[in-house]
Structure 1
């Protein structure tokens, strides 16, 4: 028969075991959340191209997949570039960029956004880059830091691919991820832009068609010259911490007016008296009004950033404070 002292010791031991089990459980959950959303993971992927060649992607995100033609062009730094520029425009033999600040509405309904009209001689002037020059999850840098590090003339944030583990991710001609999940957008080497469903068009088909970059976020705003839907039930993913994308928010979008003629829009928001942001329907209307025949919504909120000639053009979240992103689209001679 147990004495009172023995019973007390047994009760304390059992309580300690329960506490340890609870702490281990909490620790496991915390680690898994940190591993998913905080700890950097550089991924190394071996991808096959349509010709059967194998390339390694992941450890050199900024340059992997670069074609021999573009590599040779990049190596030729001796060519003189004749360009003129100011705070809102850039003109050279190969690139024309004009940026406008636009305001609509008033008071609590005021919206401030920025439109960059871009005409390129060669599609290869529009490229993508990864944060920290690496492909993976939870690897982030500010849009301006990525852009300035590669001497970009112009840049916007991309699709924040590193916040999710699905989607078809082709960057600079190399396939990094092949997990079809949603409607996406492809930039092609002929200077055109194509919106498509990842579950209906394979990565091998995209590469065979000349896709240089794909972005997986959405939704598609305009396809074949028509606004695609009312956007009332759009769902991108279920990641922890996602905000609703139905309401007025800061936005980033890319559209094509004609081959090698693009329009980039960044909308500020969440600051009363400066800009409330836009709904997806409003953004689609803006892109249509600009003449886009294809248009696609990219990551928004705190990510929405437009960079030009060494400065951030817009005012992210009305705080002049960028949020780190995993990737950008940029323009360079």
Structure 2
């Protein structure tokens, strides 16, 4: 927990992708004409459905609406579209888009972040985000004015130069006195201190969720705030998960 410059909770996970039994997995896509690319589900449901040990939310998506605890979209089972590249087990179901960089994981379990959003041919798993924070070990100038960079819930990923180490960062927000969020500039500084090679923000806000398997059940480690209700998980379009088999 951090108290300066405001209270915020940061969850930081370091994954050694060379560890035997570690394997990434992305929500499979099932595109249907005029009905979206994936079926919305919570991160806990994703982890449970595919028997994963760890999972986070991934791409931005649409359509989306959040007006009240009873008036929101998507609900579980609704069809939605992801923004940017999405690949699951080598099958691409959403195309790369300009200005939406992608995290690409190879069949050999090595990770890289593509500035263009286009993953290499043969990529096994991929998700995309909006804000590139660090590129080639150098902070990236953020779009917009500094005053527009407000504290917020964040989900982010980062890789080292070898592609063997992957970091996951989840910051809670929208919860005064408990966790009020982090700015992109502050999150960049967190990754800079870790000496990552490249860092990328995925979807945030009420989507930001970190789940692990405890025994046979999913446990939410952070405090997502969907429709402003703490610990209410948001159904999202896709996720990034990991098997940790021994």
TM range (shorter): 0.7 to 0.9
SS of equivalent residue, structure 1 residue 109: coil
Cα deviation, 1:26-77, whole Å, max 9, x if unaligned, reads xxxxxxxxxxxxxxxxxxxxxxxxxxxxxxxxxxxxxxxxxxxxxxxxxxxx
SS in 2 for 1:147: helix
Contact 2:104 2:123 in 1 (8 A): yes
- What residue is the counterpart of 1:185 in the other structure? 102
Q: Structure 1 or 2: larger helix share?
A: 1
Which has the bigger relative contact order, CA under 8 A and spacing at least 6? 2
Residues 157, 327 of structure 1: 8 Å contact kept: yes
Alignment pair present for 1:324 and 2:235: yes
Q: How far apart are 1:179 and its partner, in Å?
A: 5.5
TM score, norm. by length of structure 1: 0.57
Q: What is the rounded CA distance, in whole Å, between the counterparts of 2:55 and 2:25 in structure 1?
A: 9
Question: Which residue number corresponds to residue 71 of structure 2?
Answer: none
Query: How far off is 1:111 after superposition?
Result: 1.1
SS at match of 1:146: helix
In 1: Cα distance, 2:158 partner to 2:242 partner: 15
The 3 A distance-change label for structure 1 pair 168 and 129 is closer
Residue 249 in structure 1 maps to residue 152 in structure 2: yes
1:275-324 deviation line (CA, Å, top 9, x unaligned): 11011111111122223211110000000000112200001127111111
Q: C-alpha root-mean-square deviation of aligned residues, in Å?
A: 2.7
Contact 2:84 2:102 in 1 (8 A): no
Distance in 2 between residues matched to 1:300 and 1:250, nearest whole Å: 5
Of 184, 189, 192, 1:285 maps to 189
The alpha-carbon distance between structure 1 residues 326 and 308, as it changes in their structure 2 partners (threshold 3 A), is same
Which has the larger Rg? Answer: 1
Supply the distance in 2 between the matched residues of 1:157 and 1:123 (Cα, whole angstroms). 22
Aligned length: 212
User: What are the ranges of 5 or more consecutive residues in structure 1 without an aligned counterpart?
Assistant: 1-102, 235-244
More strand by share: 2
In the alignment, which residue of structure 2 is the partner of 1:110? 7
Give the direction of change, closer, same or farther, for the CA distance of 1:276–1:165 in structure 2 (3 Å limit).
Answer: closer
3-state secondary structure, aligned to 1:269: coil
Structure 2 runs not aligned, ≥5 long: 64-80
Indicate the residue corresponding to 1:296 in structure 2.
Answer: 200
Do the aligned partners of 2:43 and 2:57 also contact (CA within 8 Å) in 1? yes
Show the counterpart of 2:75. none
Paired residues for 1:136-147 under 5 Å: 136-137=36-37, 139-147=39-47
What is the CA-CA distance between 1:175 and the residue it aligns to?
Answer: 2.0
- Tell me if structure 2 keeps the 8 A contact 1:157–1:306: yes
Classify 1:294/1:179 alpha carbon distance in 2 versus 1 (closer, same or farther; 3 Å): closer
What residue in structure 2 maps to residue 196 of structure 1? Answer: 115
